[in-house]
Amino acid sequence: MSTATYAGQQVEVNDEGFFVDPAQWNRQMAIEMATADGIELGDRHWQVIEFMRKEYFEKGTGPTVRVLGKSSGVAVKELYELFPKGPAKMAARIAGIPKPKGCI
């Protein structure tokens, strides 16, 4: 466990940079994290980010890529274009939620 500073605020993150407490997140932090990853957040990115946060607060874990593709309104192919390093993990980190449990 360590801390990172986004938008001038200290937040708790795990070893891989995922937020420990999604309540510490705000949109400005997402923009900073995305910029560091070389992504300029557009409407489609925000659609995914908001869907991920909603799923997390409803179900206790972020969605897998397949569920994102079925339910977020953004197809899997586009998800990879938006978040090239793997949509589930990359978008979850930018969305300020823990790493999706996904695979068993």
- Residue 5 gets the label, from left (phi > 0), alpha (psi -120 to 50) or beta, of beta
List the one residue from 76, 94, 99, 100 that touches another protein (CB under 8 A): 76
| Closer of 24 and 47 to another protein (Cβ) | 47
Residue 23 vs 104, nearer CB to another protein: 104
| Type of residue at 38 | G
- Residues acting as catalytic residues: 103
Rule CB under 8 A: is residue 16 a binding residue for another protein? no
| CA-CA-CA-CA torsion sign (9, 10, 12, 13) | positive
Helix (H) or strand (E) holding 17: none
> Can you read off the two tokens belonging to residue 40?
């300029």
Options 23, 38, 42, 104; binder of another protein; rule CB under 8 A: 104
Of residues 56-75, those binding another protein (CB under 8 A): 64-67, 70-71
